[in-house]
Amino acid sequence: MDAQDRDIMSADFGDSPWYCDAGTLTWTSRPRLYWITWELQGMKGASLSDGSSGAPREVRLEAYQDLEEVCCEGWIKVDPSRPFPTFTTARPRAKPGHKPAGIHTCNSQDLERWVADRYRFPPYQYTSKNLLVNKHDVLRLPTIEEKEYMLGFPVGYTSSCSPKQLRGTTAHADTRHTLVGNTWSVPVIAWFISQLCGPLGLCPLYTPQQIVDFLNPVHQTFLQSRLWRAPVRPLRGPAPAASPNLVAQLGQLVSVKGEDILLTADPNAVELRQQMNEAAVKVQALERGRKARKQVASEAGSSKHGSSRGEDQQQSQHFVTSVSDAPAVSDAPAEPETPKTPKVERSHSAEGSDDEAGFGEDELSPVTPAITIVQPTGGEGASHPPSEQPGGLSLKSMEV
């Protein structure tokens, strides 16, 4: 960015920017200008300097990062004394563009590698000092996984940027290289954010070395490993006291994408929730059964009270009379009587066994449950003896 554009942006923001190059913190250079609205504090591994003669202020972050961990096994940077140049977007083409950047620093072998790679990156990326080498003296560019590592992203972070049918293709690899070529250095951004949240008590003031170690995927302490980890401290308590704790935990559970947050509950709370769900299901089943019984009872009651009140009284009087007027049992031996066939159906007989009264197995379905209602019968104003009544006990079965 030229000085004129920088001054325009500074006038809009109302403050001058901070210059920071990630090359002193990681193994890749990333010079950028940062306009921030909070104060920065110097610490171990972080030095601040004011700009002079129109130059912006500068933040120099320093930390140790093992180069052998950055590179794939068996590979090492040709010139380990300096970081890799700034990663750029991948732009494959049939012929080179106008005035390629850094072409004057390349020799014939560098240009041959550039042509063989479809001119994807600027020519200076293909100089031997910016490549990796193995024991067979084979040279290559950094892989996308190595670039993700050096920029502070989890290895494989950009692997899902394309549909599944395109993964593993050259176009998919170019897309991944373009993504990391358009991003920032995560350790640098993490240090700036810690300078904002630290004084507020939302997180510790991390040193640059702590941030680099924290984002190291080889040691499995990087941000992705904490993405779905439950909060270390419980969040229960009064709202004012729990609020800072909640903010701190949310800050730890946010992914590097800045969009994924997982809130986890106490295991006991999860078990209690399951028990509550099971109890709710049982209550609903009992409620359905209660409503069904109430409906059946209501229908039975309306059928029972369908006749007039006087009829009910006459039926009750007849039922009591038929019991009280029954002949007494004599001690003398009774003469055998000739069996008589009842004039009514067996299920309507007032005398006999339970089967003759309609309670036998032939009267009730062995499969369908039913409610049986017994009521006396008789016409309105009936005054004749029970033996002359047109019927005994009537049965009515209603399916539930």
Amino acid 249: pLDDT: 57
Amino acid 365: pLDDT: 40
Q: What average pLDDT score do residues 226-255 get?
A: 49
Q: Is the pLDDT of residue 367 over 50?
A: no
CA distance 348 to 344: 6
Asked which of 63-72, 226-235, 275-284 is least confident by mean pLDDT, the reply is 226-235
Provide, rounded to the nearest whole percent, the portion of the chain with pLDDT above 90.
30
| pLDDT level of residue 168 (50, 70, 90 thresholds) | confident
Amino acid at 78: V
Closest CA to 113 of 130, 99, 98: 130
Q: Which two three-digit tokens encode residue 363?
A: 């009267």
Q: Between 226 and 242, where is the model more confident? A: 242
**Every domain of the chain and the residues it spans:** 3-181, 266-300
Amino acid 306: pLDDT: 56
| pLDDT level of residue 399 (50, 70, 90 thresholds) | very low
> At a CB cut-off of 8 Å and minimum separation 6, what does 113 contact?
126, 139
Q: Is the pLDDT of residue 320 over 90?
A: no
Q: Which two three-digit tokens encode residue 267?
A: 């295991």
For residue 124, how many C-alpha atoms fall within 13 Å in the half-sphere facing its CB? Answer: 12
Helix 170-181 to helix 144-151 angle (10° resolution) is 20
Q: Which two three-digit tokens encode residue 371?
A: 């409610």
pLDDT in tens, 106-126: 999 999 999 999 999 999 999
pLDDT in tens, 282-316: 888 888 888 888 888 888 777 655 554 555 455 44
- Say if CB 348 and CB 392 are below 8 A apart: yes
Mean pLDDT across the chain: 72
Q: Which two three-digit tokens encode residue 110?
A: 């560098």
| pLDDT level of residue 193 (50, 70, 90 thresholds) | very high
| pLDDT level of residue 255 (50, 70, 90 thresholds) | very low
Cα 17 to its chain centre, rounded Å, is 40
Other CB atoms within 10 Å distance of the CB of residue 7: 12
Amino acid at 20: C
- Say if CB 212 and CB 63 are below 8 A apart: yes
CA distance 204 to 195: 9
Amino acid 187: pLDDT: 92
Amino acid 129: pLDDT: 93
CA distance 250 to 231: 9
Q: What average pLDDT score do residues 371-389 get?
A: 43
CA distance 389 to 398: 26
Closest CA to 34 of 62, 56, 52, 12: 56
Q: What average pLDDT score do residues 163-183 get?
A: 88
Amino acid 157: pLDDT: 87
In the three-class reduction of DSSP (H, G, I as helix; E, B as strand; rest coil), residue 85 is classed as coil
